[in-house]
Amino acid sequence: MGGKIYVTGGAVGPGTSANSAYVYDPQPDVWTQLASMGTARQAHASAAVGGKLYVFGGVGGVDDDGNDERLSTAEVYDPASDSWAQVTSLTSARSFFVAAAL
C-alpha cells in the first residue's frame, strides 16, 4: 500500500474501543485521518491485500458482566474511495490474534 503505515482502532479507555483509522506517510512525515471503520475494535488483526486493508475480529467493548465482547465481523478499507465496507464475517469471534497476507 505504497510504503504507508495504517493504524486502525485501539483502546481509548477501560472497556472502550475506537473505530478511527489513520495513515502515516513517512515521505512528508504526516499523519492523515481516514474514514472511520463501521465497528469500533481493539485487539484485532489486519492484513493488506490487493491495495486494500482488511481488519478482522477484535474486542468491541465489554458486556454488562465485564467480559470482553469479542467480534466476528470483518471490514475492508479502500484507499481510493476512503471508505470501509463489511465483508464476510469470521467463522467465530476472536481477539488477540495475527493475520498475514501471502
- Residue pLDDT, tens place only, 19-64: 999 999 999 999 999 999 999 999 999 999 999 999 999 999 988 8
The verdict on residue 95 lying in a domain is no
Domain coverage including residue 74: 5-87
The verdict on residue 31 lying in a domain is yes
Confidence of residue 79 (pLDDT cuts 50, 70, 90): very high
What is the biggest distance separating any 2 CA atoms in the chain, rounded to whole angstroms? Answer: 46
Burial level of 93, CB count in 10 A (0-12/13-18/19+)? middle
The verdict on residue 98 lying in a domain is no
The verdict on residue 93 lying in a domain is no
Say how many domains are in the chain: 1
The verdict on residue 101 lying in a domain is no
Q: What is the pLDDT of residue 64?
A: 86
The verdict on residue 30 lying in a domain is yes
Residue 2 pLDDT > 80: no
The verdict on residue 97 lying in a domain is no
Q: What is the pLDDT of residue 1?
A: 63
